[in-house]
Amino acid sequence: MRFERKKRWWLVQDHRDLHLVESEDAPKIETRHGSAELLYRGAYETRESAMEQVDRLAKAYGLALAK
């Protein structure tokens, strides 16, 4: 199955904060220190699969979803 352009759940890291955004393309996050600080952590088909990666990143690096 070829890549289908559609909304996905994007996980984006800004410093120690993770942001989960439903979007077709890379979401633009307001960063504290400019867009060069953003790290993209995957575009997931479902919110549940994105949250599984949030859990892995929490255990590995102590990251958490931004309030």
Partner 1 sequence: MTIQYNQVLAIWQDEGGGESTNFLSVQDQTPWSGGPYGALFTAMRDLSRAGNLAVQWSQNLNVVDPAAGGPYSTVKDRLTFVLVTADGRTGQLNLPAPREDIFVAGNVLVDMSNPLVQALVAQVTATLGASDGTPWVEVRQGVRSRIR
Site residues for partner 1 per CB under 8 A: 3, 5, 8, 10, 24-26, 38-45, 49-50, 52-53, 56-57, 59-61
Strands, sheet with 17-23, edge to edge from the N-terminal-most edge strand: 38-44, 8-14, 17-23, 64-65
* Shortest distance, position 9 Cβ to partner 1, whole Å: 9
* Shortest distance, position 3 Cβ to partner 1, whole Å: 6
C-alpha to C-alpha distance for 2 and 26, rounded to whole angstroms? 19
C-alpha to C-alpha distance for 45 and 7, rounded to whole angstroms? 8
Measured from the CB atom, is 15 or 49 closer to partner 1? 49
* Shortest distance, position 66 Cβ to partner 1, whole Å: 18
